[in-house]
Amino acid sequence: MKEIGTSADGGEMNMRPFMKVMQGILFVGQLGFLLVTPPLVLIFLANLAQEKLGWGPWVMIAAILVGLLSAGCSVYNLFEKMLRKEKREQPPAAGFNKHI
């Protein structure tokens, strides 16, 4: 049976495609976590505040809005970080004097 990261003759092969796939899987997982966690935590806390402290329904509305805003900011920061990393990995373009 062939292992991941080895070629058919037993030598090492290029791991770039495998790493790109793994980065994509991790990116999707992190994206889901960033979108779901802040609103759920704040909704839980707002529900707790309504039940234990007797606060009104405005707490739930505020928690949902703040949760969605914080999730949006987190996703924006993640995309910005990914774009900076991708920009660093690109080789510099050849200038006029470096064409040979």
Per-residue pLDDT tens digits for 24-74: 898 899 999 999 999 999 999 999 999 999 999 999 999 999 999 999 999
- Please state, in angstroms and rounded to a whole number, the distance separating the CA atoms of residues 43 and 37: 10
Contact 19, 25 (CB under 8 A): no
Q: Residue 12: its pLDDT value, please?
A: 56
Q: Is residue 5 left, alpha or beta, with left meaning phi > 0 and alpha meaning psi from -120 to 50?
A: left
What letter represents residue 5's amino acid? G
List the structure tokens of 88: 């660093």
pLDDT at 14 over 60: yes
> Can you give the pTM of this predicted structure?
0.66
Q: What is the pLDDT of residue 40?
A: 96
Domain boundaries along the sequence of the chain: 27-88
Task: Report the pLDDT value the prediction gives residue 89, as an integer from 0 to 100.
Answer: 73
Distance CA 61, CA 68 (A): 11
